[in-house]
Structure 1
Amino acid sequence: MKIRTPLTVITGPLGSGKTTLLRYILENFPKKIAILMNEFGEIAIDAKIIQGKNVQMADLGGGCVCCSLLGEFEAAVNEIIDSIDPDMIVVETTGVAEPDALVFDIQESLIKVRLDGVITVIDADAMVKYPSVGHTTQLQIEAADIILLNKIDLVSESELLTIEKKLISINEIASIVYAVRGQVDPELLFGIGRERVQAPPQHIHQPEFESFSYKSTAIFNRSCFEEFVNSLETNIYRAKGFIRFPEGIYLFNFVTGRWDLESFLQEATELVFIGKYLRETKVDILENLKKCEQLSLN
């Protein structure tokens, strides 16, 4: 009988650093890894960040893998195993996913894989800014075998201790691993193999967030764009994508007011904005962004 393929679920709130962790794993872990990604938003930004890194990928877009895409997820897993036979499979869920439904499905419906573990990535800085843990984040923490407490360089030691106590109060079994920009020894994350009995979930998927996207062939004024980002309202929780300046294209990451740019090979500007009550502010955001366009490449 063929040994079942180990499957690891990486979950966590929007902007916690799941894709950054994946990039680090792919660069530092010499295994044949297949990745399934489920993104929130019309443009698969995270998939474009990962692609080209000598990894087999499947993108599950247009819904949440924890509910509406379970059938597609099962088919994608089986196809990956049959076609490329990877050493392991990693599933990155969208930040609004409730992983209990996914874990139950893996254990009940996928006979070719075994659940190796659930890694929940938590943004330490966001835990300080937003100390009230929402329903979805609570479930993500409860599901964890390992909690990767990321961005610890952005908080004080006392804040870190407070966060750790809160995480333990929610999940006293999971190991807590500290990280900066997702940099952690991959050996700590895989080979967990903890036996678990996942009860059928009482799934009430009520996404708190909305999203909209923006594409452009224009070149943007960098100073104007930086002013635009700094002026984003607090209802924008997460923004990400690619932005073209005269000197080149950059990967843009914005989480709860913090943001950075990283030089990146990509074709054009593509941005996704995620937050609450976006219908009220979408027009203003896009108008302010377009003010930064210098010229079109068409």
Structure 2
Amino acid sequence: MNAPLPVNVLCGYLGAGKTTLLNRLLMQRDERILVIVNDFGDIAVDAAMISRRSADMIQLSNGCICCSMGGGLFEAFERALELRKDVDRLIIEASGIAEPQRLASFALAEPELECRAVVVVVDPQSLPDRLADSRIGKVLENQIRGADAVFLSRGDIADTAMLRRAALLVAHINPLANHYKTIDAKFMQALEEPHDNQSVSAVVPDHYHQRLFVRRTVTLEPPPDRQRLITVVAQHAKSIHRLKGYLNLRGLEGAHLLQLAGGVQTLEPASLSNGMILNQLVVISPDPGAVMRLAEALEQTVSPKGH
């Protein structure tokens, strides 16, 4: 009989850096890792961004898995158990609005799974504003409360004062969770620690937090102009909490990955892979008006004259 399959849950708010951390783990850990990835959007952009070094990948899209524990999620766990002999670890990359307690509780209830550390990724730059936002602050607090380990992302660009402030905010919410800024031996060891269910059991999850967010998929055909696209996204950076998608751009060769996270926009060349959907952007925000205004502005970037 196979030993229980170790499971790590990876959570974090929209754009915190979960996929970046996951890719680095896939590169550095000498294990066969099975990944369940969940996108809060109509197209699975995050799945296309994950390194092919994983042993296998199970994709769930168009919803938050902690809000839809039946159907597709149960089938994903069943498939994971069927692959037990071929993998050493399961990592669940939850959507940006998922809260870890329900996912961890499922693993704890399954004898063939062994729930180990729940990791929550936090962006030090946007954390103070996100926590202060009355619409979404509770989502971040519940994510942090459910963590065994908190990874402070973007340590290469965040200054010392910003990292210290983020660490203090996290410690105030969850004094039991250890903090990490790099994937070092201590962080790798933390992944092996059993999940502390007592730190989560007192938290009452909001199963309907998905209603707080508006998501929209914007199709940009023909390919948009690069500079106009960058300008439009920058103009809406403060009101949009997450934007991502692969694009063909007018006058440029190859696909490009456009992302907006924590107010920071990036546009970089991307390698084409199977299942990648081009020229569709997922836009997410708690402000319906902001999503509508950005969608309208984005659609103007495909017009040769901007109107």
The partner residue of 1:286 within 295, 299, 302 is 295
Contact kept, 8 Å, 1:104 with 1:199, in 2: the verdict is: no
Distance 1:167 1:286 in 2: 34
CA shift digits 1:48-77 (9 cap, x unpaired): 212644531111223322132345323312
Distance 2:238 2:165 in 1: 24
The partner residue of 1:220 within 221, 224, 227 is 224
Aligned twin of 1:251: 257
Q: Comparing both structures, which one devotes a greater share of its residues to strand? A: 1
Aligned twin of 2:91: 90
**How does 1:68-83 map onto structure 2 within 5 Å?**
68-83=68-83
Aligned twin of 2:206: 204
Root-mean-square deviation over aligned CA pairs: 2.4
Cα deviation, residue 220, structure 1? 2.3
- Cα distance change, pair 277–221 in 1 and its aligned pair in 2 (3 A): same
The partner residue of 1:229 within 230, 233, 244 is 233
Moved more, 24-33 or 212-221: 212-221
**How does 1:189-200 map onto structure 2 within 5 Å?**
189-197=190-198, 199=201
Contact kept, 8 Å, 1:228 with 1:288, in 2: the verdict is: yes
The partner residue of 1:272 within 267, 282, 291 is 282
Matched, 1:242 2:265: no
Moved more, 40-49 or 253-262: 253-262
Distance 1:142 1:282 in 2: 29
Aligned length in residues = 290
CA shift digits 1:57-101 (9 cap, x unpaired): 111223322132345323312222213531000001111112112
Moved more, 64-73 or 245-254: 64-73
Distance 1:219 1:131 in 2: 37
- Aligned partner of 1:269: which letter? N
Distance 1:96 1:217 in 2: 29
- Cα distance change, pair 257–113 in 1 and its aligned pair in 2 (3 A): same
Cα deviation, residue 15, structure 1? 0.6
**How does 1:33-52 map onto structure 2 within 5 Å?**
33-50=33-50, 52=52
Cα deviation, residue 229, structure 1? 1.4
TM-score (normalizing by structure 2) = 0.85
Distance 2:64 2:167 in 1: 29
Aligned twin of 2:119: 119
Query: What SS is found at the alignment partner of 1:218?
Result: coil
Distance 1:165 1:287 in 2: 39
Query: What SS is found at the alignment partner of 1:293?
Result: coil
Query: What SS is found at the alignment partner of 1:151?
Result: coil
- Aligned partner of 1:137: which letter? L
- Aligned partner of 1:63: which letter? G
Distance 1:71 1:199 in 2: 24
- Cα distance change, pair 119–80 in 1 and its aligned pair in 2 (3 A): same
Query: What SS is found at the alignment partner of 2:132?
Result: coil
Aligned twin of 2:57: 57
Cα deviation, residue 154, structure 1? 3.6
**How does 1:138-217 map onto structure 2 within 5 Å?**
138-179=141-182, 187-197=188-198, 199=201, 202-205=204-207, 206-207=209-210, 208-217=212-221
Distance 1:124 1:195 in 2: 24
Matched, 1:136 2:139: yes
- Cα distance change, pair 150–40 in 1 and its aligned pair in 2 (3 A): same
Matched, 1:18 2:18: yes
Cα deviation, residue 292, structure 1? 2.3
Structure 1 stretches of 5 or more lacking a match?
none
